[in-house]
Structure 1
Amino acid sequence: MRQEPSAAEPVHRDRTLGLAFVSAVVSLVTVFAAVGSTIPLFNIYRTEEGFTNAGISLTVVAYSAATLSTLLVLGRLSTHVGRRPVAIASLALLLLGCLLLLKVHDIGILIAGRLVMGLGAGLASSTLTAYIVDAAPTRPAWLASVASSQTVMLGLAVGAVASGALVQFGPWPRDLIYLVVIGSLLLSAALVANSPETATPTPGAWHSLRPSVRVPARVRHLLPVAAAVFLATWATGAFYQAFVPALVADQLHTNSSLVLGLVFAAYMGPSALGAPLGGRLSTAAAQRIGMIAFLTGWIGMITAIATGMLPLFIAATIIAGAAQGIAISAATRGLLFGSALPDRAPIFAAVYLLSYSGATIPSLVAARLSDLYSLPHIVLGYGALAFLATLFTVVAAHNPHTDTPSTVS
């Protein structure tokens, strides 16, 4: 005789999915805390090892290019083999990157460590974000898109501030942060290993390795504006990684590693606070408002650099950070509209492919130009990119269609 399901089963399922949600969020924060932990050390590497701005910028390019490659080839793998094994593999790659960065005395080692981190971050970007959406509670409705899109920014902020504090006040300034991150990565792997799987393994894992980018047809018309949002905001994030260490030291006149970490966190951290604000608006309206505020922040940053005012630079950075949270989460919410479980990893692969393209291409151009132009001139170039992306978003933003099936092709 078949046993009827008990009333406790849905409660148990909610609890196990809650563990999966927490594990995925904690792991994604840890992954990007590892990525952000290197930023306050860039000035130390510049001073003690003689690395140039162009060399530091190339580490950002190496990281972003590795992430792009991983997303293109492995972005759909977790749909076929499961979220947990791919997530644990991503954490292992980040751990390997941290081990490499314990011995940085040559720009090649720094580039190699950042490249390995990029491979791990690429796997995590598609896998852990999909895991978050799979396991997220249904209420509030905006939680899945905000948690999946803003956990990255929160992790970068946490990593930068923790690193800045440990570099300035702790022992072993070049090593301690990496040891702390390694411990956090091991803890995250243990959490994921003990969480339930949300994606039933299916055939086609080898076929999924063929480079491909695909999103549901019903939201494909949203891609151009989403690409503009991701391009401008992630280009700015890459700018903060590559050039703000030198900018803070040379133009804003402070060598404090903690201040450097706080400046970077001032861009990334408010993103998580701004994101829920956009959840009350339509995706098109939130993207428009977010990008206009983002451009306002950029105008303030350019003014601060021209006048050498650190407080204004930090205030403008906070405005730009909160604004990017509104715009990015709205763009992500639109692309996730009506998605089924098999759609999610490919959607996030596309999201982060666009995002890291935005980080990589301007960084590569800026690295080439950094020997020809001063940092304030390079800043104007990034400001122009923010202006063009904002203009396009205001003109072309749309809401998702509600009358077409969610097919992926």
Structure 2
Amino acid sequence: MPRLQAPSTSSFAGLTVVFAAFFFAAGAPTPLLSLRQQEWGFSASSLSIAFAVYALGLLVALLVGGSLSDHVGRRPVMLAALYGEIVSMLVFLLAPTITWVIVARALQGLATGVATSAFNAAINEHAPANLKKLAGGLATASVAGGLGIGALVTGAAVQFTPDANRLIFTILAGVMVAGVIFLSFTSETAAKRPGALRSLRPRLVLPASIRTDFFAGVPVLIAGWMFPAFFLGLSPVVLRVHFGLDGGLVGGFTASVGPFAAAVSSFIFAKQPARRSMVTGMILVFIGVVLVLTGINERWLPAIWIGAVFGGSGFGASFGGQFRLIAPRIQPHQRAGVFSGVYTAAYLAFSIPVIIVGQLAPLAGLVTTVQFYALTIMAFAVLSILLQAQRLRKDIRLQPSAANSPA
């Protein structure tokens, strides 16, 4: 059994950067898929599958291996995820057809799913005591900021370089190799526990202490994650078909605005009460969707960008709040399993609706389908506001009695 060592600030910061690199890589294909569609001529349905298969692969990895690092340690699982990501980058680099791109996306999803719960737990455990509250915000910012930077940088590469695919995925493969080297210098923070093989059975870890709040938070996850899925999975098609814009930079910028706003809001709301942050976040998501819908209906792109800022800020506030709400109530040996449960719900919302849109758009029309997608987000946002506001009022009523109870 490896000796557990005290966490360090440098390990905390470095792990956060490596974790963000996974999501930089996840955001990178957004402008490239649109470019490949123009070059290879595959259908909108294939495009939606290429986007969403990443999330489905991630879900499989979360369900099967989400608790594994609670048993074998964080480092072995994080290293396995990095090696898998390197393989997926190489497949992206050499892919000759959309079929191979879909394979690369599936491998990428599996690697990121393996990484997600282990890195979330490790970042929390490596955080110094004075930065524990920041850890949840940083994890959320890593996901959102990585997606945004990946889309923006890749969009610029598509616009200004002759072979963006080769440039981006060569660099990303190198970054993942650097991540492997960095991990060799970090300490293990989780003791080995029996039951590793048993943990591979697909299941969600939901301790009784968080079960009610987890299920009450599912609509928050659905509304929150459907919003960035629009920009990362559907906005390239909307820009090209509805607005007549196919430049890599405008596509990358449009896809990146929301995730950037989410990353910033994760820090802004990090010290706010968790449930209040969730309510505020859902209000911002609702406003963002209204603005995006207005921009699509009126063919006014700035409204979509402004909506992305509002909705992205709401996504960051609500998702970070959800983590801050449940994290203090779970035991260390439950962390990876609980985080995998949260991300399972999140990525179902991130992937399945986009696949449905890809299948319905040729039949009902792109704009009509996207409008229905937007209305669905709005409905879940309203449901989330009502549920969380009700629970917030209950929390406030219980506070006086809790304060008067014996220590």
Please confirm whether the aligned pair reaches a TM-score higher than 0.5, indicating the same fold.
yes
Q: Shift in Å at residue 34 of structure 1?
A: 0.9
Distance 1:279 1:173, change over 3 A: closer
Aligned to 1:385: 376
- 1:196 and 2:187 aligned: yes
User: What is the letter of the counterpart of residue 365 of structure 1?
Assistant: I
Structure 1: distance between partners of 2:352 and 2:164: 32
Aligned to 2:351: 360
Structure 2: distance between partners of 1:124 and 1:283: 25
Aligned to 1:170: 161
Distance 1:200 1:140, change over 3 A: closer
Task: Give a deviation string over 1:355-385, Cα, whole Å, max 9, x none.
Answer: 1111122122212212112222122122222
Q: Shift in Å at residue 342 of structure 1?
A: 1.0
Contact 2:234 2:354 in 1 (8 A): no
Q: Percent identity?
A: 27
Q: Shift in Å at residue 140 of structure 1?
A: 4.5
User: What is the letter of the counterpart of residue 256 of structure 2?
Assistant: A
- 1:156 and 2:147 aligned: yes
Aligned to 2:218: 227
TM-score (norm 2): 0.91
| Alignment match of 1:269 (pick from 260, 266, 278) | 260
- 1:314 and 2:308 aligned: no
Structure 2: distance between partners of 1:378 and 1:222: 32
Q: Shift in Å at residue 216 of structure 1?
A: 2.5
Q: Shift in Å at residue 217 of structure 1?
A: 1.4
- 1:142 and 2:126 aligned: no
Higher helix share: 2
Task: Give a deviation string over 1:159-191, Cα, whole Å, max 9, x none.
Answer: 111111222212422211001111111111111
Taking the TM superposition and a 5 Å limit, the aligned residue runs for 1:65-214 are 65-214=56-205
Aligned to 2:405: none
Q: Shift in Å at residue 209 of structure 1?
A: 0.7
Structure 1: distance between partners of 2:156 and 2:188: 36
User: What is the letter of the counterpart of residue 309 of structure 1?
Assistant: W
Contact 2:209 2:330 in 1 (8 A): no
| 3-state SS of 1:349 partner | helix
User: What is the letter of the counterpart of residue 149 of structure 2?
Assistant: V
User: What is the letter of the counterpart of residue 345 of structure 1?
Assistant: A
Aligned to 1:10: none
Structure 2: distance between partners of 1:339 and 1:300: 38
User: What is the letter of the counterpart of residue 356 of structure 1?
Assistant: Y
Contact 2:357 2:373 in 1 (8 A): no
Contact 2:45 2:355 in 1 (8 A): no
- 1:331 and 2:322 aligned: yes
| 3-state SS of 1:214 partner | coil
Contact 2:138 2:266 in 1 (8 A): no
Aligned to 1:32: 23
Contact 2:295 2:303 in 1 (8 A): yes
Structure 1: distance between partners of 2:42 and 2:250: 20
User: What is the letter of the counterpart of residue 260 of structure 1?
Assistant: G
- 1:62 and 2:43 aligned: no
Q: Shift in Å at residue 134 of structure 1?
A: 0.9
Taking the TM superposition and a 5 Å limit, the aligned residue runs for 1:255-266 are 255-266=246-257
Q: Shift in Å at residue 266 of structure 1?
A: 0.2
Aligned to 1:6: none
Task: Give a deviation string over 1:105-147, Cα, whole Å, max 9, x none.
Answer: 3221111010000000101111111111111123245302111
Contact 1:17 1:135 in 2 (8 A): yes
| RMSD (CA atoms) | 1.9
Gap regions ≥5 residues in structure 1: 1-12, 405-409
Q: Shift in Å at residue 238 of structure 1?
A: 2.3
Aligned to 1:4: none
- Greater shift in the superposed pair: 284-293 or 137-146: 137-146
Aligned to 2:206: 215
Structure 1: distance between partners of 2:205 and 2:164: 43
Structure 2: distance between partners of 1:255 and 1:366: 20
User: What is the letter of the counterpart of residue 62 of structure 1?
Assistant: V
Runs of 4+ that moved beyond 6 A: 400-404
Task: Give a deviation string over 1:4-32, Cα, whole Å, max 9, x none.
Answer: xxxxxxxxx76x52232122101111111
- 1:342 and 2:333 aligned: yes
Contact 1:230 1:355 in 2 (8 A): yes
Q: Shift in Å at residue 80 of structure 1?
A: 1.1
User: What is the letter of the counterpart of residue 267 of structure 2?
Assistant: P
Gap regions ≥5 residues in structure 2: 403-407
| 3-state SS of 1:371 partner | helix
Structure 1: distance between partners of 2:182 and 2:131: 24
Taking the TM superposition and a 5 Å limit, the aligned residue runs for 1:17-28 are 17-28=8-19
Structure 1: distance between partners of 2:8 and 2:217: 29
- Greater shift in the superposed pair: 198-207 or 248-257: 248-257
- Greater shift in the superposed pair: 279-288 or 95-104: 279-288
Structure 2: distance between partners of 1:347 and 1:205: 16
Contact 1:275 1:329 in 2 (8 A): yes
Size of the aligned set, in residue pairs, is 391
Structure 2: distance between partners of 1:389 and 1:88: 37
TM-score (norm 1): 0.91
Structure 1: distance between partners of 2:378 and 2:215: 16
Contact 2:61 2:114 in 1 (8 A): yes
Aligned to 1:5: none
| 3-state SS of 2:377 partner | helix
